[in-house]
Amino acid sequence: MDDTSTTKDFGPIADDYAFYEKHASEAAADLRAYEPLVRACVRCFGERVAPRTPLRLLDFGCGEGRFSRRFLTMAAVPPEQLQLTLVDPVAAYRRLAAATLRPFALESAEVLHGLPPHPGARFDLVLANHVFYYVPDLDGTLARILRSLAPSGLFLAAMAGTENVLFRLAIDFFALLGVPVPFHLGEEFEAAVRAATHDRYETCDVHFRLAFPDSEENRLRLLRFLLGEWFARVPRPELLAALDPYGAGDEIDMHVTHRHFTVAAGGGVV
């Protein structure tokens, strides 16, 4: 495993993750927050370079490409002007993402297990949407990505920390089990960004809603998604009771917050 791999196996919780995606407005909220930054980046790129120069986009943690498809649709870069690099540690996800995103770039995407091995790789736009939680070497990987930004490049990332009600639930469960939280929190990520950029970054809160029919099965689906391999170790009564405060009639209704981080190469602000 290299320093850009994930320490979490998402295969066993794929169905639970799909359940979360279906019932959360997280992706739509992320896209709304990214949109003005991405459009400004694309516009400025078009004004700076020759018409045939491709915009080089690194999608770090592309997964199956579902969010990436919506992101690229929003970005609206003509296929002949886009050069894609897709990074994900899971081979099956890389194949799906490459197929899903093929219409967005005239040339085939570069598809990699980790960050490009060649030190000269440069990118005009880097997206890391909710992927740094399970990157073993947070500081080293972040530093490599920031070094790969083109002179006017832009790095966009989403991360959740203790402001996020779902993460607070997970943190409480890990405390119950007596084990350290096995993923990076947004606070850790922000500290790494602050150190790497000497405080030259921007951040904002992103709010979304998670609502689904209230049943034991659905509660367990959400909590299995949150806890992964640790799910089976938490007593079921504690699991189910944790969502009681969010019951609203026949629904579980949660208002959730996470944060976006923006770094412009050279310390500029888009």
> pTM of the full predicted structure?
0.93
Q: Write down the CATH number for the domain with range 11-160+181-211+257-267.
A: 3.40.50.150
Distance, in Å, from the CA atom of 227 to the CA atom of 212, rounded to the nearest integer, reads 18
* Rounded-to-integer distance, Cα 195 and Cα 200, Å: 9
Domain assignments of the chain as residue spans, ordered by start: 11-160+181-211+257-267
pLDDT digits (tens, 9 = 90+) for 206-252: 999 999 999 999 999 999 999 999 999 999 999 999 999 999 999 99
**CB within 8 A of 50, min separation 6: which ones?**
none
DSSP-assigned beta bridge partners for residue 207: 257
CB atoms near residue 9 (< 10 Å): 12
Radius of gyration of the chain (CA): 19
What does the mean pLDDT of the chain come to?
Answer: 93
Predicted confidence at residue 214, as pLDDT, reads 98
Cα–Cα distance between 206 and 195 in angstroms, integer? 23
> Longest C-alpha distance within the chain, in Å?
62
Convert the pLDDT of each residue in 171-205 to its tens digit: 999 999 999 999 999 999 999 999 999 999 999 99
Instruction: Count other C-beta atoms under 10 Å from residue 166's C-beta.
Output: 20
Question: What stretch of H or E contains 204?
Answer: strand 202-213
Q: What is the mean pLDDT of residues 130-157?
A: 96
Q: Vertex 54, ends 39 and 154: CA angle to 5°?
A: 45
